[in-house]
Each structure stands twice: as C-alpha cells, then as structure tokens.
C-alpha cells in the first residue's frame, strides 16, 4: 500500500516546475527556491517510503507494477502509462532524487544573482520529473518519453544564458547529437515490438531467451541499435562531442545533468536490457571496446585542457566509459555500483568547481587560478576527498567500484580490456590531481583585482554531504563474499540481472534445430567461474599502486617542478592534436554539418523558391488570365445580354427535347 505512492514521485517535481514556470515571477525568488527544493525533497522522502513498501512485498515477488492509465492502443499495440518498482529502479530513484535534492539546494545559492531565476528552477524540476519517468517507466515507450524529456531539458538548460551565441550553439549541438542516438533507439524499440509483440519490460525480458537465438542476427541488431542510442545519451564514441560544449550551462546543470543523471541514462538502459545484451556476445564486445576506448581517449584529452569544467566533462566521459566497459563484460552490478559512486564524487567535484568559479567571480581558466587553498578551505577539502575517490584510493568509494570494474574486465573479459581500464585509471589520477594542484596549490595566479572568498553555507553544505557520501559509498559494494557472504549491491540487484545462460542456450539450440540449422558448440560458455580471491586482492593492490603513481606524477609536474610540463611537451607532435580534441568536432562538421547546410540551401533555392512558389504564384496568374478572358463577356451592351439569354434558352430546349 505504501507502493501506491509511486506515481507521486515524478509528479512532485512536475508540479513544482509548472508552478515555478507560470507563477515564478510573481512569487519571488525565495518561494521559487523553496518550491523547487521542496518538491525534490518530497520526491526523495516518497522514494524512501516506496522502498519500505517494496521491502514488505511477499517473498518471491520482485517487481511491483503500477499502471496509472492506458495511454493509447492501436490494434495490437497497447501502451500503458505505468510505473515499475524493482531493485534497479529503486537504486536509480535514490540517486536521482537524493543527489538531485542536494544539487537543487546548492543551485539556490549559486544562481542567486542570475536573471530569470524562476526559469532555471522550472526547467530543473522538469528535468528531474523526466528523469524519474525514464527510470520508473514500465515499458520502452515510457522510457523513451523520459529519454526525450531529459534531452529537451538539457537543451533548455545548456542554452540558459541564451544571449551568448556559444551557449545556444552548444544547446543545439547537444540536442542534435542526442537525436541521432534517439533515432537508433527508436528503431530498436520498433524492432523489439516486431519480434515480441509487446514493449513491456517484464514481458520482453521473460520472453527473450525463448524467442531470440543466442548470438543471432536479430538480437545483435536490436542490441546494437539500443547501444547507439546509449552512446548518444551517455556521450561515448562516436556521439560524445556535445558533452564538453555543454559546459556552457550553469554549473548546477553540469553537476546534475551531465554528471549524475542524464548521462547515466544510457547505462541504466543497457543494464535494464541486460537479458538482451547477454544474448548477443558480439554486441557485448563492441560495448566493452567502445567503453574502454572512450575511457582512454577522453582521459588523454582531459590531460591537456585548461578550463576547469572541461576537464571535469572529459572526466565524466571517461568514467562512463568505465561503466560501459563493465556492462560489456557482463558485470552489470559493477556498472551500477560505479554509476552510484560516480554520481556522488562527480557531483561533488562539479559543485566544488562551481564554488571556485563563484569565489573568483567567473574565472574558469585554470591558468589564472592557484593558491586558493587558504581562501576556500571547505571547498578545498571536499574537492580533495572527491578527487581521491575518483582516483581510486582506498578506502573511498571510488576505489571499490573501480576495482570491481577492473577485476571483472580481466576475469570475464580479456587482458586488453583490463589494460584499457588500467591506463585510464592512471591518466585519471594524473589529470584530476593536476586539476587540484593547479587550482588550489602553488603560487596564486589569480587576477589581483579579484578577492577570492569562500562560498555561502547554502553552497558548502551540499559539498560536505556529497563528500561524505563519496567516502562511505563504498560500503555498498565491498565484496564480503568470502568472509561474510554479503555483497550488498550484488544481492540487491540479483532479481533484475538474473540470467540463466544454460536454459537460454538450450532454447537457442532448440530454435536452431527447428529451423534446420546446426547449433554451434557453446559448451565453453557454460564452464563455471569462481571468484578468485587472491587475484582480486592482487589487482586491488595493483590499481592502488597505479593511482599513487598518477598522483605522484601530477605532484612532480605541477608542484615540485612546474616548468616540467612545458619542457616535456615542447616539440611533441601529438600535443596539438590532443589539445584540439583530436579534431573530431572539425571532422563531424565537414562530414555531416556542412553537407546538410549546403543541401538545405539547395533545396531552399530550387525546390522552395522556384518550384513551390512558382506553382502557387503560377496558379494565381492562370486564374488572372482566365478572368481577363471572361471579362470580355461583360461588355455593357444590352443586346449582347439579350442574345445570350436567347441562346441559353434555345440550347436548354434543345437539350431537353
């Protein structure tokens, strides 16, 4: 019965958004902030209540579905507007509402002097509502609505400073690149409906092993299309170019949308469809490669950027690469674990950078920062804690999640994946601490007219909370199997990720035999794998060592001998390429954007101006010509008229008789 409150969870932020949007100007800044944060906190509390209700479900029932109403039905295609509560949903809900509330509170302080205060919070709440719809929907179409909704709100919020052309362009770029991914996602949903006749999650996942052949073309196509959609939303290769530009938006937007929630929607979707992905080993390999590759590539670019938010953006792309790497080798729990811990420390990092920017009055270039440690102690310490977490230092949360990803990439994957993961870890530690050292340590390169100051309490409290969560979040996934038989997150997500490979292979063999084809030998897949403890411990120590090496490197380069970076990169041929993000943006521009613009211009001049306008104007001209011919009938001569009367009368007679 507590579970009946499910439908309220996305409703609170939606109502908050509507109130703020329509009445924001009238009710004043304080009320707007109160309503926005209040609705998010209400959602969080309701999520807690729903969690309690879920725990009270009878044994054996793992999913609770609440159908609000039937949205539409067209023949056999019936779509409900329904919500689904299962372990995965609960994890995501907590992340979105919890971290979302904290960031809302921070934004109240950060956006205090901005114009259109109410517009920001209206869009922010709308985004939260759409994200909740995404994670709570019980069928693909509802998830797609949330998918589109968050993309839309991302566009609104990136282009929040709409008077800057770069902001508007960044918003458009984000939306268009997302659209490419969405198109693939929609194709996948259509294909799923074609194969299964339904798009409900529970129905599809139950029927999948019986309807799809393991490794067959259908499931590979479906999962590849789904994954392309995920790359669009989660900024992986090849659709990642929008995320660094999205830093044009205000910092709370970057923290919530581009660190904790929207970009993780792709990961959520892949984990939700884990059954489908498990049936297609080829897609899994692709996912792992793209995840690992993105992790390494984004880390290399992040090393050379000077804008503090860009570094964090590339770091996000890299960390999500980790999550996809985990998905690609089948370690979905590790992916979700990393998603949760990443939400904590990345949000803290972004909010911290926002605090820094706020403190030095808008400067974002790290070359003009330095020595801020003594001016902003709270910001500094929370920032350092989160950086240690992202670098993967024991006993912070990032250590456990990253380690789990690396372990599974070696054991369930192969050494290449592990190698990609380790290099990315090394680079992550390096550039994150480069960021810390350049911003907070050393000589102050800040503009003398600016007096850096610490941010107000409303901004530093969220930082402290998030840093605390980043510290203790690791408890969720400490592998206690060996000693206490308990890995909290793993056993929690077990009902969702459960996949019986043996029976799926049996079904596939059966289907192939029915089609008259020979089933390949799959016995090697059914070998049981044990969790090798000593290997894991060894890997833990190795990754710790790697992280320490990275930190030490950063220390050397930026504290001890600050001239080293310049000497090192002098004459390096690769630096130019890396610094310009491997010229990927320029490549896309030449390959896709310019041809589209030229094509549109051609269509405009030829088709629109000449053909369509010509037809319309031509019709008018023809009518004019006809009228001029008909004008001669009205001559003004009475006898002509009399003649016409008589002629008409006679022809009538002739016709009748």
Partner 1 sequence: MLEETVPLSHYLMLSATLFVIGVAGVLIRRNVIVVFMSIEIMLNAVNISLISFDHYMNLSNGQIFSFMVMCVAAAEVSVGLAIIIAMHRNKPTVNLDDFNLLKW
Partner 2 sequence: MELLIFYPVAGLCVALALGVIFNNSPVGSAISLIGMMLGLAAIFVLQQAHFIAILQIIIYAGAIMVLFMFVIMLLNLKQGDDKGWASRDQNLLLSVLTGFLTLGVLYKIAEVLFSVDMNTPATLPDTFGTVAVIGETLFTDFVLPFEVASILLLAAMVGAVVLAKNKLD
**Helices vs strands, H then E, count in the chain:** 29, 2
Nearer to partner 2, 377 or 648 (CB): 648
Q: Stretches 24-32, 473-481, 509-517, 637-645: which one binds partner 1 (CB under 8 A)?
A: 637-645
Question: Could you give the count of Cα atoms lying within 13 Å of 58 in the half-sphere of its Cβ?
Answer: 0
Q: Which stretch binds partner 1 (CB under 8 A): 43-51, 91-99, 515-523, 631-639?
A: 631-639
CB of 629 to partner 2, least distance (A): 20
Give whichever of 603 and 643 is closer to partner 1, judged by the CB atom: 643
DSSP per-residue letters across 591-617? IIIHHHHHHHHHHIIIIIIIIIHHHHH
**Applying CB under 8 A, does 636 fall inside the site for partner 1?**
yes
If 0-12 CB within 10 Å is exposed, 13-18 middle and 19+ buried, where does residue 410 land? Answer: buried
Q: Is 643 in the site for partner 1 (CB under 8 A)?
A: yes
From partner 2, partner 1, none, which one binds at residue 30 (CB under 5 to 8 Å depending on kind)? none
Residue closer to partner 1 by CB (options 573, 637) is 637
Is-contact 241 584, C-beta < 8 A?
yes
d(CA 385, CA 234): 25
* Minimum distance from residue 634 beta carbon to partner 2 (Å): 16
Confirm if 546 and 425 have CB atoms less than 8 A apart: yes
Give how far the C-alpha of residue 356 lies from the chain's centroid of Cα atoms, to the nearest Å: 25
Nearer to partner 1, 197 or 648 (CB): 648
Q: State in angstroms the smallest separation of the CB of 630 from partner 2.
A: 21
In 548-593, which ranges are E strands?
Answer: none
Decide if residue 634 touches partner 1 (CB under 8 A). Answer: yes
Buried-state track 116-150, b at ≥16 Cβ within 10 A, e below 16: ebbbbbbbbbbbbbbbbbbbbbbbbbbbbbbbbbb
**Partner that binds at residue 567, options partner 1, partner 2, none, CB closer than 5 to 8 Å by kind:** none
573/637 with CB nearer partner 2: 637
Q: One symbol per residue from 585 to 624: x for binding partner 1 (CB under 8 A), - otherwise; what is it?
A: ----------------------------------------
Using the rule CB under 8 A, give the single segment among 1-9, 55-63, 72-80, 632-640 that binds partner 1. Answer: 632-640
Residue 646 in contact with partner 1, rule: CB under 8 A: yes
Among partner 2, partner 1, none, what does residue 657 contact (CB within 5–8 Å per kind)?
partner 2
Smaller CB separation from partner 2, 515 or 654: 654
Using the Cα atoms of residue 53, residue 54, residue 57 and residue 63 in order, give the sign of their dihedral: positive
> Shortest distance, CB of residue 654 to partner 1, whole angstroms?
15
Per-residue interface string for the shown chain with partner 1, residues 354-393, x marking contact by CB under 8 A: ----------------------------------------
Cβ distance to partner 2 smaller for residue 55 or 654: 654
- Judged by CB under 8 A, the residue of 165, 524, 567, 639 near partner 1 is 639
Query: Contact with partner 1 (CB under 8 A): which of 115, 484, 534, 637?
Result: 637
How many angstroms separate the first and last alpha carbons of the chain?
Answer: 86
Question: Is 629 an interacting residue with respect to partner 1 (CB under 8 A)?
Answer: no
Looking at the Cβ atoms of 529 and 632, the one nearer to partner 2 is 632
Size of the site for partner 1 (CB under 8 A): 10
Instruction: Tell me how far, at minimum, the Cβ of 619 lies from partner 1, in Å.
Output: 22
* Binder among 631, 654, 655, 656 for partner 1 (CB under 8 A): 631
Contact of 135 with 262, CB cutoff 8 Å: no
Binding partner of residue 541 among partner 2, partner 1, none, CB under 5 to 8 Å per kind?
Answer: none
Q: Distance between CA 133 and CA 93 in Å, rounded? A: 10
Task: For partner 1, give the closer residue by CB, 515 or 638.
Answer: 638
Distance CA 652, CA 644 (A): 12
Torsion (CA) 34, 35, 40, 42 in degrees, nearest 10: 100
Cβ–Cβ under 8 Å, residues 121 and 24:
yes
655 binds partner 1 (CB under 8 A): no
Nearest to 106 by CA among 390, 428, 351: 351
Query: And the tokens for 599?
Result: 């094509």
Cα–Cα distance measured from residue 472 to residue 474, given in angstroms and rounded to the nearest whole number:
5
63 vs 597: CA distance, rounded Å = 48
Q: How far is the CB of 608 from partner 1 (least distance, A)?
A: 36
Q: Is 653 in the site for partner 1 (CB under 8 A)?
A: no
The residue assigned the tokens 């109502």 is 15
Q: How far apart are CA 481 and CA 485, in angstroms?
A: 4
Rank residues 74 and 653 by Cβ distance to partner 2 and give the closer one: 653
* Residue 393: both structure tokens together: 């230092």
C-alpha 406/C-alpha 547 separation (Å) is 13
- Of the candidate residues 68, 616, 642, 652, the single one contacting partner 1 (CB under 8 A): 642
Instruction: Give the tokens for residue 394.
Output: 């024991």
Query: Based on CB atoms, which residue is closest to partner 1, 502 or 646?
Result: 646
Three-state DSSP at 79 gives strand
Shortest distance, position 629 Cβ to partner 1, whole Å: 12
Taking alpha carbons only, the member of 84, 100, 192 closest to residue 143 is: 84
Residues near partner 2 (CB under 8 A) are 637, 639, 643, 646, 650, 653-654, 657
Nearer to partner 2, 69 or 657 (CB): 657
How far is residue 171's CA from residue 184's CA, in Å, rounded to a whole number?
Answer: 21
Nearer to partner 2, 633 or 653 (CB): 653
Backbone phi, psi, residue 500, to 5°: -90, 95
CB of 625 to partner 1, least distance (A): 15
CB of 607 to partner 2, least distance (A): 51
Min dist CB 647 to partner 2, Å, is 8
Q: How far apart are CA 152 and CA 149, in angstroms?
A: 5
Q: Is 60 in the site for partner 1 (CB under 8 A)?
A: no
Q: Are 429 and 546 in contact (CB under 8 A)?
A: yes
The rounded distance, in Å, linking the Cα atoms of 143 and 140 is 5
Nearest CB to partner 2, comparing residues 414 and 635: 635
CB of 615 to partner 2, least distance (A): 41
Q: Which residues bind partner 1 (CB under 8 A)?
A: 631, 634-639, 642-643, 646
């Amino acid at each position: 019965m507590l579970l009946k409150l499910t439908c309220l969870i996305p409703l609170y932020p939606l109502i908050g958004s509507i109130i703020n949007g329509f009445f924001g100007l009238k009710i004043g800044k304080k009320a707007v902030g109160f309503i926005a944060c209040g609705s998010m906190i209400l959602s969080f509390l309701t999520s807690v209540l729903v969690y309690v209700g879920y725990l009270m479900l009878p044994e054996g029932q793992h999913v609770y579905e609440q159908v609000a109403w039937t949205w539409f039905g067209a023949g056999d295609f019936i779509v409900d507007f329904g919500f689904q509560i299962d372990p995965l949903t609960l994890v995501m809900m907590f992340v979105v509402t919890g971290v979302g509330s904290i960031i809302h509170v921070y934004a109240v302080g950060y956006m205090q002097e901005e114009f259109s205060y109410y517009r920001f919070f209206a869009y922010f709440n709308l985004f939260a509502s759409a994200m909740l719809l995404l994670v709570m929907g019980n069928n693909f179409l509802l998830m797609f609505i949330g998918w589109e909704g968050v993309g839309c709100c991302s566009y609104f919020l990136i282009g929040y400073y709409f008077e800057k052309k770069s902001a508007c362009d960044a918003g458009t770029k984000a939306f268009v690149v997302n659209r490419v991914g969405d198109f693939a996602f929609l194709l996948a949903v259509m294909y799923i409906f074609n194969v299964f006749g339904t798009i409900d999650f529970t129905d599809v996942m139950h029927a999948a092993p019986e309807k799809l052949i393991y490794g067959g073309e259908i499931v590979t196509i479906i999962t590849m299309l789904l994954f392309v959609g995920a790359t669009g939303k989660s900024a992986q290769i090849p659709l990642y170019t929008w995320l660094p530009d999205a830093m044009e938006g205000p910092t709370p937007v970057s923290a919530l949308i581009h660190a904790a929630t929207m970009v993780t929607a792709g990961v959520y979707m892949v984990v939700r469809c884990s059954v489908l992905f498990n049936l297609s080993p080829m897609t899994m390999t692709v996912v792992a490669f793209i995840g690992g590759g993105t992790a390494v590539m984004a880390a290399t670019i992040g090393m050379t950027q000077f804008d503090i938010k860009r570094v964090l953006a590339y770091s996000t792309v890299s960390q999500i690469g980790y999550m996809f790497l985990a998905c690609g080798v089948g370690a979905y729990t590790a992916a979700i674990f990393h998603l949760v811990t990443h939400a904590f420390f990345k949000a803290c990092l972004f909010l911290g950078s926002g605090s820094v920017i706020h403190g030095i009055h808008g400067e974002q270039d790290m070359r003009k920062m330095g020595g801020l440690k003594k001016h902003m102690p709270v910001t500094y310490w929370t920032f350092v804690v989160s950086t240690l977490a992202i670098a993967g230092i024991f006993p912070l949360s990032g250590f456990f999640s990253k380690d789990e990803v690396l372990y599974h990439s070696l054991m369930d994957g192969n050494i290449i994946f592990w190698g990609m993961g380790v290099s990315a870890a090394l680079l992550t530690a390096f550039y994150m601490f480069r960021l810390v050292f350049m911003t907070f340590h050393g000589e102050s390169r800040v503009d003398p007219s600016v007096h850096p100051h610490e941010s107000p309490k409303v901004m530093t409290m969220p930082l402290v909370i998030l840093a605390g969560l980043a510290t203790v979040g690791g408890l969720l996934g400490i592998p206690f199997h060996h000693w206490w038989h308990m890995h909290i997150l793993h056993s929690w997500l077990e009902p969702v990720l459960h996949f019986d490979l043996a029976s799926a292979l049996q079904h596939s063999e059966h289907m192939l035999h029915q089609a008259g084809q020979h089933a390949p030998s799959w016995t090697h897949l059914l070998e049981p794998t044990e969790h090798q403890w000593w290997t894991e411990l060894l890997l833990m120590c190795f990754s710790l060592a790697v992280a320490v090496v990275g930190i030490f490197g950063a220390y050397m380069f930026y504290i001890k001998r600050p001239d080293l970076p310049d000497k090192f990169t002098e004459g390096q041929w690769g630096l130019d390429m890396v610094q310009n993000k491997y010229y990927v943006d320029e490549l896309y521009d030449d390959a896709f954007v310019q041809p589209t613009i030229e094509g549109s211009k051609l269509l405009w001049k030829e088709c629109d101006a000449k053909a369509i306008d010509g037809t319309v104007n031509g019709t008018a001209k023809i009518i004019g010509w006809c009228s001029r011919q008909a004008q001669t009938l009205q001559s003004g001569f009475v006898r002509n008229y009399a003649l016409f009367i008589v002629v008409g009368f006679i022809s009538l007679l002739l016709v009748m008789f």
